[in-house]
Structures are given as C-alpha cells and as structure tokens.
Structure 1
Amino acid sequence: MNAPINTPIDQTKLEAFVTRAVDDLSAGYGGVMVSLGSKLGLYQAMAGAGPLSAEQLASRTGCDERYVREWLNAQAAGDYVSYHAVSDTYELSPEQALVLADEDSPLFIPHAWQVPASMWFDEERTLEAFRTGEGVAWGEHDGRLQCGVAAFYRNGYRASLVPEWLPALEGVVDRLEAGIEVADVGCGHGHSTVLMAQAFPRSRFHGIDVHAASIDASRRNAAKAGVSERASFDLAKATDYADRQYGLICFFDCLHDMGDPVAAARYAARVLAPGGTVMLVEPYAQDQVEDNLSTVSRMYYAASTTICCAHAISEGGTLVLGAQAGEARLAEVFRQAGFSHFRRAAETPFNLILEARLSE
C-alpha cells in the first residue's frame, strides 16, 4: 500500500527500519542454520577444538565438505563462529559453545528454534483461528512445539529450580526435605517434576497435563532418571486432578495458557494442604504494554499470539491472560481464588517466580 499523498517520509527512519527488518529476516534464516548445526553435531565437534578447516569439520562429523563450508560461512557472517582468513579455518569460542554446543548449559538455545518452526508449520491453522476466533489446543500443534518448549525450559529449570527458586519460597525446602505431596500442574515432559524428585527423595511428586503424548514423555524421563517410584504422571485438567492435600502445587509457565486460570487457582486452593504453598512461574513481564517493549517481550508476545492465547481460547477463554500477563493480573487471579498471600519470590530475565498461600 502506498503512503497517503502529502505524508512526509523520513528517509533516515525508513532506512533504519528497513535495516531492522532485514536483520530480523537474516535471523530467521540463521535459526535454520543453528538447528541444522546442532542436529548434525557441527557445534559439538567444534567445541574446544580450536581452529578447524571445513574439510576437518566435515571429516569429524561425517558430513559433506561443500555443505559444511557454506554452513560455516553463514555462521561466520552471523558472528556465530570466527573465521581466520590466513589459515582458512573456523573457530567456536568457549562463550559460543555454552550457547550452541553444551546441551547441559542453561544458555543452550538450539532447541528453542523448534518453536518458530512449529509456528510456521501451523500457519494455516493460525490464520483460520484469527478469522474465526476459535482456539488451537496445545496438542493440535506440530510436534516440534512440545519438544522445543520442553527442551528449551529444561536447562533453565535445571539451573535455577532447586538451587534458587525453591529456597526463595518461605519454608518450602524444609517441608520438601521432610516429605510432602507435590503437584506439578501442566508438567509437559516432566523435566521440572523429575528435578524436584531427584532433589527431595522423601517427597512424592505428581505431574499433571492435558496432553497425552507429554505424559508419556514424562514417564520415560522419570524412568531414565530413576525416580519413577516417587514421580507419577496423570492425564488430567488443572481443575480435576487427584486431591492429595499437597504441600506444594507448582505451575511452571502454564497458568497463562489456561482457559480459566481463576478456576485452576481456585481448585489449587481446594486441594492444598493447610499451610501449603503455590509456586507460580510465569514469563517475565511488567504490568503495562509500554513497559514490555523489549526483545524478550517481543518473543513472548509472538508465541502468545499463536500458542498461549490460542490454547486458552480452545479451553473456553474465560480469561485469556497471554504470556505477558504481568504480576498485578496474576495476583488478581489468586485473590479471586481466595489466596490472601501473594508475593514475588524471585525473578530472572525470562521468568517471574511468585508465591501464593491461603493465609499468612
């Protein structure tokens, strides 16, 4: 569409915006390269190896040299590896390796690219949802969504959940060490449940999710970690899981996806043991849109558009919070559910860690 007649164009602003748009387009292309590099073991083969030629990297990974060379040039152009012109070699720095090669690093990012891949794959479904106002349930998305989200969050939880987040809650670690029942609502692939079960052998952990394939993955992950005897998983909604009078109920990055978060919080109040705690982990957000205009918020709003809001609408959409709900709206949800205590216990650049109790 042409600009209206007599509308002045600021050439400097136009050029700056075009540059920004092309940068974003380039990043999208680069994400494909990151995923390929991770799945082919290219980053892992470069980690700690010093400068390597394309031929050497191809030999180490069993890949074709011509493809590897072009991939390396894309990486060098994006500053994801260093190129040494004199020796015609490429090098992955220790800092880059933490982000691209170390699958146990809390900064490891390649799996996250599976999420936008699923968003593209599901574009027709999303277009239809925009036009009709209908929802799209979590399980109706391309499978790369569930796998990408689980893998991306796993390392962040591994780095922070047991050493930082749980100790930030009043008295919770002592109760976990003594032995309580714990519900992990919306557990996904069960990484958070397994981490807690490994750390607190006297407690019993119960993962709940509405997605059958995720429950199956949770059981496999618990078995692999050797905690199946104290970590169970059930297909259930956030408003009908078994009442075990839980000492701790956790919602990890999921309450904002629910069609009726007040009902979920109200049910948690009903099945919470006296003196029990709800731990709510939500995407980091300020309370006003104008305070959420950042790179991380852009990512969260985009995912929320196609995934979070879409699932909440599929569940009836009584209150569609979205991934950038902010602390004030979340506090109001728990106030309506009967909780009198609500506070921010901790935060990261990506998450708010909130604590709720029925009474002081």
Structure 2
Amino acid sequence: MQTQPLLRQTKPMNTPVIDQTKLESFVMRAIGDLSASSGGILISLGHKLGLYKALAGAGPLTSQELADRASCAERYVREWLNGQVAGGYVQYHAVSSTYELTPEQAMVLADEDSPVFIPHAWSVQASMWFDEDKAAHAFRSGKGVGWGEHHDRLYCGVAAFYRNAYKGSLVAQWLPALEGVVEKLEAGIEVADVGCGHGHSTLLMARAFPKSRFHGYDVHQPSIQEARGLAAEDGLEGNAEFEVARATDYPDRKYGLICFFDCLHDMGDPVAAAQYAAKVLSPDGTVLLVEPFANDRTEDNISPVARLYYTGSTMLCCPHAVSEGGHMVLGAQAGEARLAEVFRKAGFSHFRCAVKTPFNLVLEARR
C-alpha cells in the first residue's frame, strides 16, 4: 500500500498560496530599493571627490580624462562611472567610450546652489544607519532620542539640504504668499526663527530684509555656534543673532513674524509651542509654518516622497518629540488638518494653507 509523502501529511492547512508573478514583482521592487540605497554611497563619494563638478559642462569625457580632472585613480573612476550609468545618473556614449553629465543631471548633482541639489541628503541617510541601534532601543523601550544624540553627519546634511530648498522658495514665493508680511519686513519688524538649526533660513531673510531684525533659536548648541559663524561670514551680524532656547522660552520681543521651518512636528508639545508663539506675537503678527507635504489620510500618503518622510519621521522626528515628553507626537506626515487643530487649541482664529508643493505645506496662522 502506497502512502502520501511526509511533506504533504504535515503541511499546515492554512499555508498561503504564493502567486509567483506577484512574488517576482515584489522581489524586484525590493532589489530596486536596495540598488537605490547602495547607490547613495557612490553619489556621496562623487560629490566629495568633485567627480560630478569635473563632469558638469565638460562634454563627453573618458574615464581617464575625468580621473585626471578630479585627481583620482582611473580604475576607481571607471567603476564609479559605470555604476552611475547603470543608475541613470550619467550618460554613456558607447561609440567613443565616453561619459557625460546632462544639464539637468548637473543641477541635481553638481550645482551646490541649485534648489534641487541632492548629494547632501545622503549624509542624513548615513546618520540613520549609524544610529540604528539607538532606534532599535527606542522601539523596544518607548524612550526618545534627542536631536543632539544623533551622529554628526545628520546636522550638516539636514542644514545643507534644506538651505537650497529655502534659498529657491522662501523669499521669492513663500513670504509673498502671506498676507501683508513682505511689506512689514521691508518696513522693519522683529522676526523669530524657531528651531533654526544652522540658521540658513534666518540668514536668507536677514539678507533680503535689512530693516528687520532676525532672531534664530534652537536647542542644539553646536548648531547655534555654526549659525553665528555663518552670520559673521555673511556680514549679517547687524540684523541676525542666534541664541540657544526652546520653543517655549525664547525672549518676548512682540514679533511681527514667527517662523517654524520643518520643526514643529519634531517638538514634544507642539500645542505649547504654538501657545507660546501666540503670547510673544505682536497683535497683528503672523506665524509662518512650513511642514513636509502630507495628505490627511494614511491611504493618501503612498508615494516615494511620503516614504522618505515617514523614514525620517521614524528615525528622527518622533524620537525627538518623545525625548521632549511626547505630549503630542505629530510626526513628519501630520497633514494640514492636524496642524490646524494644533493652532486652534493654541487660540489662533486664522489658519490657512498659503502654498502647497510636492514637498512642503506652507501655512499661515494669526490670532
């Protein structure tokens, strides 16, 4: 008498049926993500070694020509170039065995003043890997990780990445979208930049509006020191100053404008921060709130940008908010409705979205 194979006898009744096509599709998606993340180190190296800058505007170059321009070893440069071609970051001309950076690629990879310059962002990703054990401990314990506890690559990466985005939009688009704010800045008002980091946003405004006085506040002492140095380099010490302070205890100067640039969602008590802003705001003052773009529902936040923001939120934003007590941990994908509720609770009667981009929500609040 024949018996069934042992595997069939012991196979669980609820074993799922695997759709091979779906499996292969998902595996290739995961491999694509792995490929993209591994390419990040080559992008960072290309920036630090000056390879992108040496390619930009030079026309087709051989690997040896690029190596000579960047003072690097040809064999390494050739492998790096082929990796860039494989990822679509550099063009390859097979007939001449040469490599070329298009003007569009140069804007993203070689022009450090471009609003879409990306290499600095990879320092942020690197810092997250360095801090993986801290994140795992936070997950298990429920405790926070303060901003100052992260790897050093985080601070320069964040500051440099946001500097270019703000440089392209803050003075030219975001401030003019607020009701009457540019006119007040031109006449001269006190401005608070809360959570200013290295002070790039503060200094951009100080340069554009010399009659106003700008005050940058942050809890991270090394960032404030860096901001002071940048202000001195730019000759802006006359109308820009920086102090270590929290979002609930910076000096009361009856500000005509209070700014929160990509930071309110990091705070342990955003309602308290908004309440304090209401307290130190002049009667006709405005709050400018810039936050990562997000829709209000999870099912509407399915995109590469949302995934990027959720990652940063998991590793950086939520841990810092928890470290500050975690009264309301908004996360980087809070959305307009939740942010409006924060300001409603803080006593503001006016709240609107002034500008919406694929990357930012620019919001205006008044008492």
Q: TM-score range by the shorter chain?
A: over 0.9
CA distance in 1, matches of 2:162, 2:63: 32
Alignment of 1:35-46 (within 5 A): 35-46=44-55
The letter of the residue matching 1:216 is Q
1:275 to 279, 284, 303: 284
1:133 to 125, 133, 142: 142
**Corresponding residue number in structure 1 for 2:257:** 248
Post-superposition shift, 1:100? Answer: 0.3
1:153 to 162, 168, 176: 162
* Change over 3 Å in CA distance of 1:186–1:4 after alignment to 2: farther
**Corresponding residue number in structure 2 for 1:97:** 106
Could you give the per-residue CA deviations for residues 249-301 of structure 1, whole angstroms, max 9, x where no partner exists?
00000000000000000000000001000000000000000000111000000
1:66 to 75, 84, 91: 75
1:321 to 326, 330, 347: 330
Post-superposition shift, 1:6? Answer: 3.3
The letter of the residue matching 1:53 is T
Q: Specify every segment of 5 or more residues in structure 1 that has no aligned partner in the other structure, as ranges.
A: none
Poorly superposed stretches of 4+, deviation over 2 Å: 2-6
1:293 to 294, 302, 309: 302
Could you give the per-residue CA deviations for residues 57-107 of structure 1, whole angstroms, max 9, x where no partner exists?
110011111110110010011111011122111111111000000000001
1:332 to 330, 333, 341: 341
**Corresponding residue number in structure 1 for 2:5:** none
1:85 to 71, 79, 94: 94
CA distance in 1, matches of 2:165, 2:233: 20
CA distance in 1, matches of 2:14, 2:248: 56
TM-score (norm 2): 0.96
**Corresponding residue number in structure 2 for 1:32:** 41
Post-superposition shift, 1:11? Answer: 1.1
1:51 to 49, 60, 67: 60
* Change over 3 Å in CA distance of 1:158–1:86 after alignment to 2: same
CA distance in 2, matches of 1:106, 1:12: 40
**Corresponding residue number in structure 1 for 2:197:** 188
Q: Does 1:144 align with 2:153?
A: yes
* Larger of the two Rg values belongs to structure: 2
Post-superposition shift, 1:118? Answer: 0.2
Could you give the per-residue CA deviations for residues 137-164 of structure 1, whole angstroms, max 9, x where no partner exists?
0010001111111111101100000010
1:231 to 233, 237, 240: 240
Q: SS of 1:136's equivalent? A: coil
Post-superposition shift, 1:4? Answer: 7.8
CA distance in 1, matches of 2:233, 2:336: 36
For this pair of structures, how many residues does the alignment match? 357
Determine what percentage of the aligned residue pairs are the same residue: 71
The letter of the residue matching 2:239 is R
Q: SS of 2:89's equivalent? A: coil
Q: Does 1:346 align with 2:358?
A: no
1:118 to 114, 127, 152: 127
Could you give the per-residue CA deviations for residues 319-338 of structure 1, whole angstroms, max 9, x where no partner exists?
00000000000000000000
Q: SS of 2:120's equivalent? A: helix
CA distance in 1, matches of 2:277, 2:326: 19
TM-score (norm 1): 0.98
* Change over 3 Å in CA distance of 1:88–1:6 after alignment to 2: same
CA distance in 2, matches of 1:182, 1:49: 44
